[in-house]
Amino acid sequence: MSKHTIRVAVVGAGRMGADHIERLTTRISGVEVSAVIDTDETRARAAADLAPGSQIFPNVEAAIEAGAMDAVLIATPGPAHEAAIMLVLAAGLPILCEKPLTEDPVSSRRIVEAEQKLDRPHIQVGFTRRFDAEYQELREFIDARGAGELLMLRCVHRNPTVPDSYRPEMLIADSVVHEFDAAAWLAGSAVRNVEVRYAKKNSLAREDLREPILVIFELTNDVLVDVEMNVNCQFGYQVTTEAVFEQGVARFGDPSGLQVFRDSKSSFKVHDGHSDRLDGAFDAELQAWVNAVASGELVDGPNAWDGYQAALACEAGIRALGEGGRVDLAVEERPAFYA
């Protein structure tokens, strides 16, 4: 692809889609939002107002037919991802798909099979944590054996509250999916089994939402990972990771910035949600993707194979959530296409 401004169509004009449209329009270079695609015209129009000059379309087919874009960012809810991806892949355009790639491994597998018929990967998956400076620093530390071999990862993932649309299995498929991807990426190994334990239920959580939970999983290199998944912690958004090595411990995610001492107390600002906690990572992720599309590389970050691996881990995690016990995954070798 030549060095012209990349024209991006954003599919899905909800909160995440609008956020990406605003980001692409105001903060990312070498790109313009040329199309907004949403079945709800009012929503599409409101989001398109954030990107002057963009056109709106009711579906992906119409935008492809009009030749409205060079690349596509998919920000619809997960169940709509496969259909949009298949259409865009058939048109040979690069894709940045918000996580999850799809909500089950069977449909994710269909996608990696379709993509492997192309000359190179076209799909990047929005596992944004890989673009966060603290995650990147920890990965470099692990790779450099800064404190010897990595033994364990101890993660905390807390949300202040979740909307009523958040179903119990989303604890795994929408939330712990981040740790499945991030831990595998940090440690350079795939997830091989998953177990879920329930804590005493938070009475502030909805009746049908039994949480917090503790998710424990092993990687193929024997590193053990545990995640406190807590979506009603009330006080703010918190993501911490502690890596335990043979000769030390490395940790990130604790509050930083201004510490105020007042009225016999000290305090730090805590993040409100993923948008402020991961703001810089979202910028870095989108800029890396746009640059990759412009250079013809098409993907610079987690690819569809990573999305498929996360879907396999989620399927095992959802079974463990419902049935208890440890659920094993079929570990497959990464194809050379996705090396």
Least gap, CB of 114 to ligand ISE (angstroms): 25
Least gap, CB of 129 to ligand ISE (angstroms): 8
Least gap, CB of 128 to ligand ISE (angstroms): 8
Angle (CA) 310 101 334, round 5°: 50
Q: Nearer to ligand ISE by C-beta: 13 or 294?
A: 13
- Of 63, 76, 75, 119, the C-alpha closest to 296 is 119
206 binds ligand ISE (CB under 6 A): no
Cα–Cα distances (Å) from 2 to 6, 65, 153, 164, 181, in that order, read: 9, 21, 42, 45, 32
Q: Nearer to ligand ISE by C-beta: 15 or 334?
A: 15
Q: Nearer to ligand ISE by C-beta: 166 or 337?
A: 166
3-state DSSP assignment of residue 299: coil
Q: Nearer to ligand ISE by C-beta: 70 or 181?
A: 181
Q: Nearer to ligand ISE by C-beta: 175 or 193?
A: 175
174 binds ligand ISE (CB under 6 A): yes
Interface region with ligand ISE, contact rule CB under 6 A, candidates 170-178, 240-248, 305-313, 317-325: 170-178
Q: Which of 159, 238, 303, 309 binds ligand ISE (CB under 6 A)?
A: 159
Interatomic CA distance for residues 20 and 33, integer angstroms: 10
Least gap, CB of 5 to ligand ISE (angstroms): 29
Q: Which of 107, 175, 230, 287 binds ligand ISE (CB under 6 A)?
A: 175
- Of 122, 158, 172, the C-alpha closest to 255 is 158
User: Residue 252 has which token pair?
Assistant: 């990130």
Least gap, CB of 25 to ligand ISE (angstroms): 22
Interatomic CA distance for residues 127 and 160, integer angstroms: 21
Q: Which of residues 249-288 bind ligand ISE (CB under 6 A)?
A: 274
Single-letter residue type at 27: R
**SS3 per-residue string spanning 89-114:** HHCCCCEEEECCCCCCHHHHHHHHHH
43 binds ligand ISE (CB under 6 A): no
Q: How many helices (H) and strands (E) does the chain have?
A: 11, 15
Query: What residue ranges bind ligand ISE (CB under 6 A)?
Result: 159, 174-175, 178, 231, 274
